[in-house]
């Protein structure tokens, strides 16, 4: 096989692999004029991961207060309702870039999952962003329920998170 043809086939196979790992479905802005807020007495946390060519096929789970609550895939957004309280958020990939969050009823928070260099290589960590930035970045992403494709869908209402009594390593 000529070298040039082999290069073209490699590029085509790579493009197909990248496209197959992208999320498909309605975008957040196509479903809602503005992202919905939480139920009375609760807060809402949006988790999103912008399209990331570097680790596009990499999936990871979001962990809150030592509970795995959803899966983040490049190009997706999902949310969880939470009771007022304190939360410790990270991914299974990265327990170093931890987001500490204190929520009150009616609060809406945005946590971005992003590629970053860790102690053993690249992984997906978490960063707290302002609601204005989070809403702008998440509106073009595909809304999912945060569950792996093979998992049973969550029944309504969404899973409600319980606050932690305290955080062992919270610097605040």
DSSP codes joined into one string, 125-146: EEEEE-HHHHHHHHTTSEE--S
- The DSSP symbol for 32 reads -
Q: Is residue 8 part of a domain?
A: no
- pLDDT exceeds cutoff 90 at 87: yes
Q: Is residue 72 part of a domain?
A: yes
pLDDT at 90: 92
pLDDT at 35: 73
User: What is the number of structural domains in the chain?
Assistant: 1
Q: Is residue 167 part of a domain?
A: no
Half-sphere exposure of 22 (CA within 13 A, CB side): 18
pLDDT mean over 85-102:
89
12 pLDDT tier (thresholds 50, 70, 90): very low
Task: Please tell me the least confidently modeled range out of 11-25, 42-56, 110-124, 138-152.
Answer: 11-25
- pLDDT exceeds cutoff 60 at 82: yes
Strand partners, 120: none
Q: Is residue 89 part of a domain?
A: yes
Residue-wise pLDDT for 34-79, tens only, equals 777 888 999 999 999 998 766 666 788 999 998 888 888 889 999 9
Domain that holds residue 91: 25-161
Q: Is residue 89 within 8 Å of 67, Cβ to Cβ? A: no
Tell me the average pLDDT of the chain.
Answer: 76
Query: Distance between CA 163 and CA 147 in Å, rounded?
Result: 21
Q: Is residue 111 part of a domain?
A: yes
Query: Distance between CA 145 and CA 125 in Å, rounded?
Result: 20
- pLDDT exceeds cutoff 90 at 169: no
Query: Distance between CA 42 and CA 59 in Å, rounded?
Result: 28
Q: Is residue 3 part of a domain?
A: no
Task: Please tell me the least confidently modeled range out of 7-11, 25-29, 86-90, 104-108.
Answer: 7-11
pLDDT mean over 30-36:
72
Query: Distance between CA 127 and CA 160 in Å, rounded?
Result: 21
Q: Is residue 16 part of a domain?
A: no
Q: Is residue 139 part of a domain?
A: yes
Percentage of residues in the chain having pLDDT higher than 70: 65
């Amino acid at each position: 096989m000529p070298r040039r043809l082999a290069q073209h086939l490699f590029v085509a196979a790579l493009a197909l692999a990248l496209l197959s790992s992208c999320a498909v479905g309605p975008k957040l802005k196509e479903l809602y004029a503005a992202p919905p807020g939480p139920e009375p007495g609760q807060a809402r946390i949006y988790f999103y991961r912008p399209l990331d060519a570097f680790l596009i096929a990499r999936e990871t789970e979001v962990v809150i207060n030592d509970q795995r609550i959803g899966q983040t895939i490049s190009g997706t957004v999902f949310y969880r309702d939470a009771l007022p309280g304190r939360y410790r958020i990270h991914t299974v990939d990265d327990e170093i870039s931890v987001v500490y969050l204190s929520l009150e009823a009616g609060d809406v928070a945005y946590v971005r999952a992003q590629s970053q260099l860790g102690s053993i290589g690249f992984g997906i960590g978490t960063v707290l962003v302002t609601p204005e930035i989070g809403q702008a970045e998440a509106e073009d992403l595909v809304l999912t329920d945060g569950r792996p494709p093979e998992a049973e869908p969550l029944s309504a209402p969404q899973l409600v998170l319980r606050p932690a009594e305290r955080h062992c390593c919270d610097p605040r």
